[in-house]
């Protein structure tokens, strides 16, 4: 009998890599996904097989972290031995606009799932192990350099506050109910499947489109923030290793190197041989009311106890993401040249990959946004970024279409 894993957030970046990884290990994988009016399975479509076929090992179930009953029903149906809780409203800037929703999904949603897992274990008698997707964002205003499992949390966003609660709930279920429950404190990890509103993907997507004349400007926020960026494919292995360990524990997962957003930008534009000064501008709307200035992880414990180590460094990550996004940009260029879709001359519209691949004109996905915020064009972008706290009144002008159009 194959081992059975249940993944919440299966349609996300990490969900897709973890699914691939577990299927490769012979698992039967079940995923919880939300019902939406459009398909959201793009990241796992290559893994999905029609359920009428033979040896189908990937199954999807409608559910939601906010719907405790759905989680209980799925657990008793699937009978997993491993549960990976990856679902979240995972965008930090968005969490300032939707703090309550973010806290409900991350903090209360995790509690719903922990309760359901505890009851499932106690009523079925099955052994079950639980993984919680904790985050380096919890370190916030960092108290030590680098950050390890002993570094105190000092969260700086509604997202991080909610993750801190979910972290401690996970620890408490381990201690109170003897549940095999682990926190993976993962530092930023990226990939060609990264959501297009996170800064790395926003940069690689825009740079490749600029290279092919599909876009002219890229609007960003704080270029001085530093992150410890790894590859998502490496990090899902660490999740699995935690649940195979002899004791339930918490682990930092990181590369041990930190770079500024500016470094990632220059690496990307340099790889494509284009000049960022000609294309990149600052839009204050992407500055956060409170910022995490620097993150640098110490993954010694994961290395020593789990035998885990990263395989991709920042320049390698840039090459991987740019090569992948260049393929998308070339497809888009071909469709534009053939007259199938309209040319996208500025960054005002996001490149909707799904619509490109399906040949649907962008116009059918909503009109273009207006130019956003005050721009600091040209060379000045490479000077000190203005760190002024953006007045609430400015931020309360969310213009979601524009925000999305600018890329988050």
Nearest approach, Cβ of 307 to ligand NAP (angstroms)? 21
Nearest approach, Cβ of 155 to ligand F7E (angstroms)? 11
Look at residues 27, 26, 44, 30 and name the one whose alpha carbon lies nearest to residue 78: 30
Contact 324, 192 (CB under 8 A): yes
Rounded to whole angstroms, the Cα distance separating 36 from 354 reads: 15
161-200: string of b/e by CB count within 10 Å (b at 16+)? bbbbbbbebbbebbeeeebbbbbbbbbbbbbbbbbbbbbb
User: Which does residue 87 bind out of ligand NAP, ligand F7E, none, counting CB within 5 to 8 angstroms by kind?
Assistant: ligand NAP
Can you give the length of the chain in residues? Answer: 408
Output 156 or 189, the one with its CB closest to ligand NAP: 189
| 27 a catalytic residue | no
User: Which does residue 220 bind out of ligand F7E, ligand NAP, none, counting CB within 5 to 8 angstroms by kind?
Assistant: ligand F7E
Residues 6+ apart with CB under 8 A from 263: 314
Residue 297 in contact with ligand F7E, rule: CB under 6 A: no
Output 13 or 350, the one with its CB closest to ligand NAP: 13
Output 19 or 95, the one with its CB closest to ligand F7E: 95
Residue 310 in contact with ligand F7E, rule: CB under 6 A: no
Under the phi-then-psi rule, with left for phi > 0, alpha for psi from -120 to 50, and beta for the rest, what region is 184?
beta
User: Which does residue 12 bind out of ligand NAP, ligand F7E, none, counting CB within 5 to 8 angstroms by kind?
Assistant: ligand NAP
Nearest approach, Cβ of 170 to ligand F7E (angstroms)? 15
Among 120, 159, 173, 286, the one annotated catalytic = 159
| 131 a catalytic residue | no
> What binding mask, one character per residue, do residues 178-207 give for ligand F7E by CB under 6 A, x or -?
---------xx--------xxx--x-----
Output 210 or 252, the one with its CB closest to ligand NAP: 252
Where along the sequence are the contacts to ligand NAP (CB under 6 A)? 8-9, 11-15, 32, 34, 36, 40, 64-66, 86-90, 105, 109, 133, 135, 186, 188-189, 195
Contact 34, 64 (CB under 8 A): yes
Rounded to whole angstroms, the Cα distance separating 190 from 187 reads: 10
User: Which does residue 251 bind out of ligand F7E, ligand NAP, none, counting CB within 5 to 8 angstroms by kind?
Assistant: none
User: Which does residue 86 bind out of ligand NAP, ligand F7E, none, counting CB within 5 to 8 angstroms by kind?
Assistant: ligand NAP
Residue 94 in contact with ligand F7E, rule: CB under 6 A: no
Rounded to whole angstroms, the Cα distance separating 137 from 321 reads: 23
Number of Cβ atoms within 10 Å of the Cβ of 385 = 20
Rounded to whole angstroms, the Cα distance separating 201 from 22 reads: 25
Nearest-CB residue to ligand NAP? 12
Rounded to whole angstroms, the Cα distance separating 70 from 54 reads: 27
User: Which does residue 266 bind out of ligand F7E, ligand NAP, none, counting CB within 5 to 8 angstroms by kind?
Assistant: none
| 28 a catalytic residue | no
- Tell me the HSE value of 130 on the side-chain side, using a 13 A CA sphere: 28
Residue 227 in contact with ligand F7E, rule: CB under 6 A: yes
Of 173-181, 222-230, 246-254, 341-349: span binding ligand F7E (CB under 6 A): 222-230
Among 20, 28, 137, 284, the one annotated catalytic = 137
Rounded to whole angstroms, the Cα distance separating 232 from 372 reads: 31
Active-site amino acid positions: 135, 137, 159
């Amino acid at each position: 009998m194959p081992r059975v894993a249940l993944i919440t957030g299966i349609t996300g970046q990490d969900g897709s890599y973890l699914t691939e990884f577990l299927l490769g290990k012979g698992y039967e994988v079940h995923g919880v996904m939300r019902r939406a009016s459009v398909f959201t399975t793009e990241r796992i479509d290559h893994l999905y097989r029609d359920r009428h076929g033979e040896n189908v090992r990937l199954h999807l179930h409608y559910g939601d972290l906010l719907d405790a009953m759905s989680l209980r029903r799925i657990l008793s149906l699937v009978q997993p031995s491993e549960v990976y809780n990856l679902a979240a409203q995972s965008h930090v800037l968005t969490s300032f606009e939707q703090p309550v929703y973010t806290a409900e999904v991350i903090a209360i949603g995790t509690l719903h799932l922990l309760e359901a897992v505890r009851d499932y274990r106690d009523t079925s008698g099955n052994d079950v192990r639980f993984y919680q997707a904790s985050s380096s964002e919890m370190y916030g205003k960092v108290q030590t350099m680098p950050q390890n499992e002993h570094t105190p949390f000092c969260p700086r966003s509604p997202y991080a506050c909610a993750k801190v609660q979910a972290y401690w709930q996970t620890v408490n279920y381990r201690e109170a109910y003897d549940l095999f429950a682990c926190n993976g404190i993962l530092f930023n990890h990226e990939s060609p499947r990264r959501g297009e509103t996170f800064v790395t993907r926003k940069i690689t997507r825009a740079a490749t489109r600029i290279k092919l004349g599909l876009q002219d400007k890229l609007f960003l926020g704080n270029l001085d923030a530093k992150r410890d960026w790894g590859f998502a494919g490496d990090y899902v292995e660490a999740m699995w290793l935690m649940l195979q360990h002899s004791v339930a524990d918490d682990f930092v997962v990181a590369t041990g190197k930190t770079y500024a957003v500016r470094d990632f930008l220059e690496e990307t534009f340099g790889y494509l041989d284009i000049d960022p000064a000609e294309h990149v501008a600052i839009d204050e709307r992407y500055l956060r009311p409170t910022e995490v200035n620097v993150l640098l992880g110490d993954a010694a414990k994961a290395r020593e106890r789990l035998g885990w180590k990263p395989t991709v460094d920042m320049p390698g990550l840039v090459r991987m993401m740019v090569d992948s996004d260049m393929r998308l940009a070339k497809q888009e260029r071909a469709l534009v040249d053939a007259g199938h879709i309209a040319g996208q001359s500025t960054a005002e519209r996001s490149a909707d990959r799904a619509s490109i691949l399906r040949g649907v004109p962008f116009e059918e996905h909503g009109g273009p946004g207006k130019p956003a915020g005050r721009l600091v064009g040209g060379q000045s972008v490479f000077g000190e970024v203005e760190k002024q706290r953006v007045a609430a009144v400015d931020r309360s002008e969310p213009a979601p279409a524009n925000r999305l159009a600018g890329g988050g």
